[in-house]
Amino acid sequence: MLRTVEIRSAPERFTTIGSAAPIASVAIKSRTDSVVEAVHFVEGQEVKSGDLLFTLDDRALRAQLAQAEANLERDRAQLEKAQGDVRRYTELVRRDAVARQQYDAAIAAAAALEGTMKANAAAIQSAKVALGYTRLYAPMDGRTGAVSARPGASVRPADSAPLVTLTQLRPINVAFNVPERYLSQVRQALDAGPVVVEASVAGDTGLAEHGRLVFIDSQVDSQSGTILAKAEFANAQTRLWPGQFVDVSVILRVDEGVVAAPAEAVLIGQDGRFVYVAG
Say how far apart CA 53 and CA 55 lie, in whole Å: 7
SS3 166: strand
pLDDT tens for each residue of the chain, 279 residues long: 667 777 766 678 899 999 999 999 999 999 999 999 999 999 999 999 999 999 999 999 999 999 999 999 999 999 999 889 888 878 787 877 778 888 788 889 999 999 999 999 999 999 999 999 999 999 999 999 999 999 999 999 999 999 999 999 999 999 999 999 999 999 999 999 999 999 999 888 788 999 999 999 999 999 999 999 999 999 999 999 999 999 999 999 876 666 777 777 788 888 888 888 877
Say how far apart CA 227 and CA 180 lie, in whole Å: 7
- The residues pairing with 273 across neighbouring beta strands, listed in sequence order, are 268
Chain mean pLDDT for the chain: 91
Contact 275, 268 (CB under 8 A): no
Rounded to two decimals, what is the model's pTM? Answer: 0.78
* Alpha-carbon radius of gyration of the chain: 35
N-term to C-term CA, the chain: 14
Say how far apart CA 92 and CA 160 lie, in whole Å: 65
Say how far apart CA 4 and CA 107 lie, in whole Å: 102
H-only helix segments in 166-279: 183-192
